[in-house]
Homo-oligomer: A and B are copies of this chain.
Amino acid sequence: MPRKKIAEPDITTEEKIKEAARKVFMKKGYAGTRTRDIAEEAGLNLALLNYYFRSKEKLFEIVMMEKVQKLFGIIAPILTDTSTTLEKKIELAAGNYIAMLMENPDLPLFVMSEIRNNPERFANKVQAVKLIQESHFVKQIKEKRPDINPLHFVISLLGMILFPFIARPVLQDAGNLSAKAFQNMMEERKALIPLWIKALMKAR
């Protein structure tokens, strides 16, 4: 009975290309990426990109959809869950989101930049505002603070979580903050952000 060799990496050519594309697109953006860079990163020939994915554009769309899903997919279920308290949602958002972003620190800036560079492509596709407005999270905020537009709280929460990652190239590469110091700071923020968001929800 034939079966795969044990210890075989078993990575298909298609997956090799996708993995290389993720890396290069994330680093240089769509416009700054040359298909040759992706082929080289994958250790394969340029012609194979078109064999498997038809065009640079198609390959990018696959990677981009993955990344958008990853960025919003982790926060959406937390905000829409009707069985958790407001406090629990804030703790989960900070904890889970920061943990994921420490593994994918370039994700937020990549997604924001690419949407900025080509908003037509995403018009009416990423319905972030609608998802937020209709979430259980916003309903709970309205009960607690009917005097303030709930978007302020959501944006402040997301800003406290995401902004350090967006500013990381400035802080770390162009500035002089060490990778270790950045990591420590983000670990601390997992506990700090819930404390702070709760504090500002009480502020008058």
Contact = CB atoms under 8 A, between A and B. Distances in A.
Interface string A104-132: 00100101110111010011111111100
A158 B167 contact: yes
A129 B31 contact: no
B115 A173 contact: yes
B185 A196 contact: no
Contact of A170 (B30, B115, B149, B171): B115
Copy number of this protein in the oligomer? 2
Given A148-B192, A152-B188, A185-B149, A112 B170 contact: yes
A127 B177 CA distance: 10
A116 B155 contact: no
Contact of A159 (B28, B112, B164): B164
A129 B196 contact: no
Contacts of A174: 115, 119, 122-126, 128
A107 to B, nearest CB: 12
Contacts of A117: 27-29, 32
A176 interface: yes
A191 to B, nearest CB: 11
Interface of A is mostly: helix
Contacts of A115: 169-170, 173-174
Contacts of A192: 148, 152
A74 to B, nearest CB: 15
A156 interface: yes
A4 interface: no
A102 interface: no
Contacts of A160: 156, 159-160
Interface of A: 27-32, 106, 109, 111-113, 115-117, 119, 122-130, 148-149, 151-152, 155-156, 158-160, 162-164, 166-167, 169-171, 173-177, 185, 188-189, 192, 195-196, 198-200, 202-203
